[in-house]
A and B are shown apart, each in its own frame.
Chain A
């Protein structure tokens, strides 16, 4: 749930609560006020009446009183007993034929020493209309206030949260290997400014650390090249010495193998750091078909040594705009893997069309773990010639060029496919 909605929810609940309580409360309070008002008016009317009747003196006052209409009734009583009562009843109004509430004051009074019962009534129609109007207006106002609050909140929130959302978008796009620092928008809201500050520092530190680490790897690999060259050179010189025993020769041979593996590893690490550093900027139109054919020819010895059955189908020259050296590394790593991990007299099939390059090979009868194959130094075999960096390089090159690479296992064949136009392809990125 969005933070925005959560805060609105609380406001809304509160407003509805107030609304539910306040409307009936208002109704009763106003009714009470008006009722008190009417009561006071009735009593005043009674007092005035009695005064006036006493002033009329000689004539029969009640003949005149009939003229007051149905709202005032005088009845002669036999004896006086104190009685004073106010109540409300429903009566059919003679004017409208509808039941209407009346407020009635019944009171026993003495006029010139004679007991009378006086009834004064007042229709509450007007008061009720007033109450209804007031409550209605009040309800309307409340609804307006709530709606207004919601609207303002929504609009204000969007505006208020804009710097936050902006920061979030930047963060989502942030990559530690970006050459440029993250750029967050200026905001005059303290909380967001603090957040941006913190994020800015954090990302910049990360980026710097990454650059430092990258430089370290690159420098370390470079510095390693010279001692490796010394080691390899000395070994070659050692080979020239005489006499040399068979035992010594075997030792030198093993050392030379180790030195070679170390230098391969180092070169591969260098390639990785250079991929990270984007040092392969120059691109050209390359035909993958030409590259695949070239690499297959280069590997012909290895293919022959394992007596692999090679089938290559090209339906397209498959032109791509990319760095030629990287295209060769890509194809050579994939084909190299397919050959190295193959079984004697196994299958190697290459299929290339304008959208994808698929390389299938026989090998171990169990599928590889697709989660792990692209991680550094993950090895599916104990083969000492495999360094465990090849597929990471493949993936890096693919990512740089907007390709996607997929691994599958079917019919006892390992299958790597590189989708050259993943946007158009029906495959989704794995």
Chain B
């Protein structure tokens, strides 16, 4: 899986590459508009992370060109400009997703995983992890080919953990993912613990190995 990271901020670019690199992704980078265009002219990517505010040009122009070449599949816009206009323009130009800075790397990981699933397998692939199987199209989970009945939140949580497997996901990232940015309503993230507990209980009852590990109260990790 080849990913192009178009981002002018070196440290952020490095963080993204480091994080995604630990998965099976092959990351290439472009720090500005010009080098991004050169790379896009020469290579094909499964997913493109596109920062809109580039020093020598607007990222939306890159998107425009990709659209003209019918290569817009798999573009995630990452922008500091949270303006709704940009979001709408970007999505209208064919971007698959939009993430506003600052974002959690695990959230980015989940979005990339979702896009690649959609793109490579038309969403019909089954995520198979030993005895555990997740069908993203039907939103169902089976363990040893037996369905496990999960609530929507538990399912979302499982997919999120699996998309970032073998990496620690912070509680903040999980909270924001599950509450769609409304995590502020909570004093504490006990509700995450409750969801995790229920999820683990349901999976182990179905005979699944306990893959979900708590990491010192810092976060959780799907360890496989």
Q: Which residues of A contact B (CB under 8 A)?
A: 222-223, 225-226, 228-237, 239-240, 244, 246, 249-250, 252-253, 256-257, 259-260, 263-264, 267, 270, 274, 279-280, 298-299, 301-302, 304-305, 325, 332, 336, 339-340, 383, 385-387
Instruction: Given A235-B170, A264-B184, A385-B184, answer yes or no on A230-B178 (Cβ-Cβ < 8 Å).
Output: no
Which residue of B has the minimal Cβ distance to A246? B216
Q: Which B residues are CB-close (under 8 A) to A383?
A: 187
The answer on a CB contact under 8 Å between B182 and A233 is: no
Interface residue tally of chain B, by bracket? Answer: 35 or more
The answer on a CB contact under 8 Å between B19 and A233 is: yes
A352 to nearest B CB, angstroms?
A: 20
B10 to nearest A CB, angstroms?
A: 9
Please, how many angstroms separate the alpha-carbon atoms of A305 and B11 in the complex?
A: 38
Partner of A301, one of B12, B16, B103, B179: B179
The answer on a CB contact under 8 Å between A237 and B19 is: yes
Q: Which B residues are CB-close (under 8 A) to A270?
A: 82
In B169-196, the 8 Å CB interface with A consists of: 170-173, 176, 178-180, 182-187, 190-191
> B36-79 vs A: 1/0 string, CB under 8 Å?
00000000000000000000000000000000000000000000
A-B contact pairs, 19 of them (CB 8 A): A222-B80, A230-B15, A233-B19, A236-B168, A237-B15, A237-B105, A250-B217, A253-B170, A260-B172, A260-B183, A264-B184, A267-B82, A279-B85, A304-B191, A325-B84, A336-B182, A336-B185, A385-B184, A385-B187
In the complex, B139 has a CB within 8 A of chain A: no
The answer on a CB contact under 8 Å between A298 and B105 is: no
Which residue of B has the minimal Cβ distance to A253? B218
Which residue of B has the minimal Cβ distance to A383? B187
Q: Which A residues are CB-close (under 8 A) to B19?
A: 233, 236-237, 240
* A-B interface contact total, Cβ < 8 Å: 130
The answer on a CB contact under 8 Å between B168 and A240 is: yes
The answer on a CB contact under 8 Å between B184 and A340 is: yes
Q: Which B residues are CB-close (under 8 A) to A299?
A: 182, 185
A48 to nearest B CB, angstroms?
A: 113
Q: Which residues of B contact A (CB under 8 A)?
A: 9, 11-12, 15-16, 18-19, 22, 80-85, 100-106, 153, 167-168, 170-173, 176, 178-180, 182-187, 190-191, 215-219
The answer on a CB contact under 8 Å between A298 and B179 is: yes
Which residue of A has the minimal Cβ distance to B88? A282
Partner of B173, one of A236, A264, A385: A236
Please, how many angstroms separate the alpha-carbon atoms of A324 and B102 in the complex?
A: 24
Please, how many angstroms separate the alpha-carbon atoms of A225 and B53 in the complex?
A: 12
A263 to nearest B CB, angstroms?
A: 5
Partner of B102, one of A232, A239, A246, A274: A232
Please, how many angstroms separate the alpha-carbon atoms of A253 and B103 in the complex?
A: 16
Q: Which B residues are CB-close (under 8 A) to A325?
A: 84
The answer on a CB contact under 8 Å between B191 and A302 is: yes
Which residue of A has the minimal Cβ distance to B15? A233
